[in-house]
Amino acid sequence: MQKLRVGVMRGGLGSEYHVSLRTGGNVLSALPSDKYEPHDILITNAGEWHIDGRPTSPAKLAQHVDIVFNALHGEFGEDGKVQKVLELFNIPYTGSTAMPSAIGMNKDLAKKYFSSVGIKVPRGLVVSRGEEVSEVVARVGSEIKAPYVVKPLSGGSSVGISLAHTDRELVYAIERALAYSEKAMIEEYVSGREVTIGVVDSSSGVGSYATPPLEILLPIGKLFEYDQKYRNLTHPVGPARMSDVERRALEESALRAHAHLGARHYARYDFILTEEGPCLLEVNTLPGLTDTSLLMKSLALNGLTLPEFVDYVLTLALRKK
């Protein structure tokens, strides 16, 4: 039987380049060798394309691969841009299509999208580079109460995120977030337990299912930041402690968000569990598949390994799901 040629796309243009290298490397190693012929597609930070160490271009990819496993994160890979490139050359790929990716990547647009179907989201506002900082601080103070969570409008892996309690901390947090993005999101700090839950499309082609939720075990007032996700040897994450009622509400919100967004194959949704119910923080339409990634920890609770998951996602993509 002829093996399917799978190009694993990794690297990329943004701040999550190194995380993507790890995700892509894991996927390459996990491809079942009896079914797939792996090919390493590297996009450098300079935007150069390579396949198996040789320079290439998007137009030539179809000569070498039958399908692309999109292991990019953040800018270009997760914002709909690379999806449009692959569609232009009729190359099937894993993950969400261009429009859901673009919406999910823009935190303000995603919040409005989810809020429109009754999903609770944090109150917040957007600031841009070039705005007068003193005016921004005054506007924030008049609309939401401290403490504030400040993060780049586009991006993932908690890059550039800060918690600000005072005006001075708010100024620093805004400047830090704007170093990673043209715009920043300033949100109210929502108190409660932070949980994350994956959503994976059904093999039947109808509907999706939720993976076991994980709880981020951090002290009150602390954020789950980049270093804790990818550089620490120990991770404050465990199976979520919740009642059946809380679990049903969480799963319902995640599944509704996934369906309304039109996300495809798999995604991860981050929530705060409050006394009033789950509050959706953001969606990650291409969550990491590294050894420490939250989605992989969640899938492991169901006994699913990375080779099994990679094979499953490729099967979904080949069915045009």
Show which residues are catalytic. Answer: 16, 157, 293
Q: What is the dihedral of CA 204, 205, 209, 211, to 10 degrees?
A: 90
116-149 per-residue burial string, b: 16 or more CB within 10 A, e: under 16: eeebbbbebbebeeeeeeeebbeebeeebeebbb
Question: How many whole angstroms separate alpha carbon 65 and alpha carbon 222?
Answer: 44
Question: How many whole angstroms separate alpha carbon 60 and alpha carbon 245?
Answer: 51
Question: How many whole angstroms separate alpha carbon 55 and alpha carbon 49?
Answer: 6
Work out whether strand 214-216 and strand 237-239 pair parallel, antiparallel, or are unpaired.
antiparallel
Asked if residue 60 lies in contact with residue 27, where contact means CB atoms within 8 angstroms, the answer is no
Q: Running DSSP on this structure, what letter comes out for residue 234?
A: S
Does 201 appear as a known binding residue?
Answer: no
Q: Residue 149 is inside which H or E element, if any?
A: strand 148-152
Question: How many whole angstroms separate alpha carbon 234 and alpha carbon 75?
Answer: 28
Q: Residue 306 is inside which H or E element, if any?
A: helix 306-318
215: its two tokens = 């709880």
Amino acid present at 101: S
Does 284 appear as a known binding residue?
Answer: yes
Question: How many whole angstroms separate alpha carbon 161 and alpha carbon 305?
Answer: 31
252: its two tokens = 């319902």
Does 282 appear as a known binding residue?
Answer: yes
* Annotated binding-site positions for Mg(2+): 270, 282, 284
Annotated binding-site positions: 270, 282, 284
